[in-house]
Amino acid sequence: MSDEIKHECGLAFIRLRKPLSYYLQNRGSVTYGLNKLYLLMEKQHNRGQDGAGIATVKLDIEAGNPFLYRLRSSAQQPIADIFSKVGQEIQELEQFQSDITQHPGLMKGHLPFMGELLLGHLRYGTQGKNNVEFCHPFIKKNLVPGKNLALAGNFNLVNTDELFKLIQHEPGPFEKQSDLAAMMEVIHHFLVIEETKNPNCPNIAEVLKQAVPMFDGGFTIGGLVGNGYSFIMRDAHGIRPAYYYIDGEVIVAASERAAIRTTFNVGENEVLELMPGNALIVDDKGGYTIEQIVEPKERRACSFERIYFSRGGDEKIYRERIALGHYLSKIVLNRIEKDLRNTIFSYIPNTAEVAFYGLIKGLEEYLNAIKVERILSWGNEVDAEKLGEMVHRKIRQEKIAIKDVKLRTFITEDSNRNEMVQHVYDITYGTVRKNEDSLVVIDDSIVRGTTLKESIIRMLSRLSPKKIIVVSSAPQIRYPDCYGIDMSKMGDFIAFKATIALLKERGMEQVMEDVYQKIKALEAKDELHTQNVVRELYDPFTTEEISDKIAQLITPDNIQIPVEVIYQTVEGLHACCPTNTGDWYFTGNYPTPGGNKVCNKAYTNYIEGNNQRGY
């Protein structure tokens, strides 16, 4: 993704099912659980770089001693920062007793994070600030163990104000800025009621059944209760991902299947998907159940997980990204009029590499079919030179662009700062025949188009190609997200800007006003959630018309080389990623009523000049 967006937090959960001494004897380390938590988080570091946090609960602690601990960081490398602090604590203990790591009891008594229940979180901020106070897990402490709660999640809620009202809680300034704070208050509210009814033997499923139906959003959440119970819960539409693995030693859950497989060296079929509406609940003895908490609804798993967010090490995700590129190959061939001799193919940025492989495979299939057809047409009129030339024809591929390390500058003047932005990418000179070769580059998605205009197109134009074609393996992003991706302002989307530009060019500004007035009428009746009126803005135009206008908008004023844009189709997306059908940022078809509300609000914010999120 050439446009950087913040997205998709990551969750890591481990429940040790054996005494700590077991892991020392059988796994070679008393810190086995912490080591695995670190690896499980590090293998998901792509999911959150604004901050991180861990929490642990110790079992069978004598009354009066602490049993719940938490550590958070918003440092530049938060995971490393957290675990280096844990490592320092171990080193300090070793100064007093050098072999303390060979004594599990002493380690548990003196090392705060030496617990049997472990919860980790990686944060990309989509609500609230990026201060350490907003990093998960959040905790609620109480003298009664069963009323203590640590909570973390990968989610956004769009009804936080309503949640506080439902439990008659007056939020403070901090709580108003955090949807996790709202979720925490609701779950803790019902946890306290349950603990009061059933001391030290809570029905966690009942707690979740009371709380979860109140939440409007997409979420995977993990919780540790002070009495040794824990849970992982996924929303009814399965918007946010959740996977788990269980054996005799551990119960593990995470946001990505590949992270679990790598951390615990297990096969694909051993890591299971936590199905929508279900919770993995672990009791204080290490027993577990999978329980349906809410009725599953239409599956709307986030398609961006497959396009971009999740790491490509998962074999299913890898195949789907290959398919996304392959699906575009026929469209690209038609656009270049099948002129493979004079076309060079590349990708920008590195996250688009797998889709690029798929595109090349599709082009190679076409080229190989042409080779066979031509050779057969020659009959007996063939010689070694002619045959060799045909057989050795290849798709022209080059590493055209190289992303440099982040450039930081003290320059604040916009014109000079834009000059620095141009050099985020560098190019490989001598790869393109000037004014003769067309250049096709694939990106996994185009959100704002800013990097394309300010950097990529400018840099590619220095190679003097005949034409530049930018291919997106994702469809046009037209609508805001409110389920965990920081794409909530209409004015940020290049597809929206192109549509507004077309409306104005064709004297159709009244469409904009009509949509605005319809939204305000819904707002007056408290019905913003009932329909997505913003979709009407796009109705007058074809996808190709909007793509052509996007191409104009991302072309810098002083660049004369023709620029074209090709987008994946929504139909192509669903064909390539059949299990992740969540496509609301492309289609405006939101899985929950809150999505419609956020989208409508985002448009009124745009019209009224309010540069803020729609939730």
Looking at residue 407, its pLDDT comes to 46
Q: Is the pLDDT of residue 332 over 90?
A: yes
What average pLDDT does this structure show over 545-562?
96
Looking at residue 424, its pLDDT comes to 63
Cα radius of gyration rounded to whole Å, the chain: 27
Q: Is the pLDDT of residue 162 over 90?
A: no
Q: Which residues are CB-contacts of 339 (< 8 A; sequence separation ≥ 6)?
A: 438
Distance separating alpha carbons of residues 598 and 495, to the nearest angstrom: 18
Tokens representing residue 252 in the block:
């593990």
Query: Which H or E element spans position 56?
Result: strand 51-57
Could you tell me if 455 and 424 are in contact, meaning their C-beta atoms sit under 8 angstroms apart?
yes
Looking at residue 425, its pLDDT comes to 66
Distance separating alpha carbons of residues 127 and 109, to the nearest angstrom: 37
Looking at residue 309, its pLDDT comes to 80
Range of lowest pLDDT (176-185, 515-524, 571-580): 176-185
Confidence of residue 178 (pLDDT cuts 50, 70, 90): confident
What average pLDDT does this structure show over 470-487?
90
User: Which CATH fold topology does 10-299 show?
Assistant: Glutamine Phosphoribosylpyrophosphate, subunit 1, domain 1 (3.60.20)
Distance separating alpha carbons of residues 398 and 421, to the nearest angstrom: 23
Could you tell me if 165 and 176 are in contact, meaning their C-beta atoms sit under 8 angstroms apart?
no
Q: Is the pLDDT of residue 498 over 60?
A: yes
Looking at residue 176, its pLDDT comes to 73
Question: In a 10 Å sphere around its CB, with 0-12 CB exposed, 13-18 middle and 19+ buried, how is residue 586 labelled?
Answer: buried
Looking at residue 411, its pLDDT comes to 38
**Distance (Å) of CA 575 to CA 16, 39, 324, 325, 363:** 40, 34, 9, 12, 19
**Which letter does DSSP use for residue 189 in this model?**
H
Looking at residue 350, its pLDDT comes to 80
What average pLDDT does this structure show over 450-475?
94
Looking at residue 129, its pLDDT comes to 52
Q: Is the pLDDT of residue 410 over 50?
A: no
Looking at residue 130, its pLDDT comes to 64
Looking at residue 159, its pLDDT comes to 86
Tokens representing residue 54 in the block:
């861990």
Looking at residue 599, its pLDDT comes to 95
Q: Is the pLDDT of residue 404 over 70?
A: no
Distance separating alpha carbons of residues 437 and 387, to the nearest angstrom: 25
What average pLDDT does this structure show over 11-28?
97
Q: Is the pLDDT of residue 597 over 90?
A: yes
Query: Bigger pLDDT: 499 or 349?
Result: 499
Distance separating alpha carbons of residues 89 and 127, to the nearest angstrom: 32
> Is the peptide bond preceding residue 556 cis, with omega within 30 degrees of 0?
no
Looking at residue 234, its pLDDT comes to 97
Q: Is the pLDDT of residue 331 over 90?
A: yes
Q: Is the pLDDT of residue 496 over 90?
A: yes
Confidence of residue 163 (pLDDT cuts 50, 70, 90): confident
pLDDT in tens, 181-207: 899 999 999 999 999 999 989 999 999
Looking at residue 168, its pLDDT comes to 81
Query: Bigger pLDDT: 156 or 117?
Result: 117
pLDDT in tens, 50-98: 899 999 999 999 988 999 999 999 998 999 999 999 999 999 999 999 9
Looking at residue 414, its pLDDT comes to 42
Of the chain, the percentage scoring pLDDT greater than 70 comes to: 94
Q: Is the pLDDT of residue 232 over 90?
A: yes
- Angle at Cα 499 formed by Cα 299 and Cα 543, nearest 5°? 60
Confidence of residue 413 (pLDDT cuts 50, 70, 90): very low
Q: Is the pLDDT of residue 128 over 50?
A: no
Looking at residue 165, its pLDDT comes to 84
Q: Is the pLDDT of residue 217 over 70?
A: yes
Which residues are registered as beta bridge partners of 328?
A: none
What average pLDDT does this structure show over 392-404?
85
What average pLDDT does this structure show over 480-489?
82
Q: Is the pLDDT of residue 235 over 80?
A: yes
Range of lowest pLDDT (164-178, 390-404, 564-578): 164-178
Q: Is the pLDDT of residue 4 over 60?
A: no
Range of lowest pLDDT (274-283, 300-309, 502-511, 566-575): 300-309
Domain(s) labelled CATH 3.40.50.2020 in the chain stretch across 311-608
For the chain, give the mean pLDDT. Answer: 91
Range of lowest pLDDT (293-302, 377-386, 547-556): 377-386
308-325 burial code (b ≥16 CB/10 A, e <16): bbbbbebeebbbbbbbbb
The top-scoring range by mean pLDDT among 306-310, 443-447, 469-473 is 469-473
Looking at residue 614, its pLDDT comes to 67
Q: Is the pLDDT of residue 36 over 70?
A: yes
**Distance (Å) of CA 500 to CA 125, 340, 460, 513:** 29, 36, 27, 12
Q: Which of 427, 414, 422, 416 is nearest to 455 (CA)?
A: 422
Q: How many CA atoms lie within 13 A of 364 on its CB side?
A: 13
Q: Which of 281, 96, 312, 294 is nearest to 204 (CA)?
A: 281
Domain(s) labelled CATH 3.60.20.10 in the chain stretch across 10-299
Q: Is the pLDDT of residue 126 over 70?
A: no
Looking at residue 92, its pLDDT comes to 94
Q: Is the pLDDT of residue 455 over 60?
A: yes
Query: Bigger pLDDT: 257 or 611?
Result: 257
H helices of 31-129, in order, are: 32-42, 78-96, 104-110
User: Which CATH fold topology does 311-608 show?
Assistant: Rossmann fold (3.40.50)
pLDDT in tens, 237-249: 999 999 999 999 9
What average pLDDT does this structure show over 334-354?
93
Q: Is the pLDDT of residue 356 over 80?
A: yes
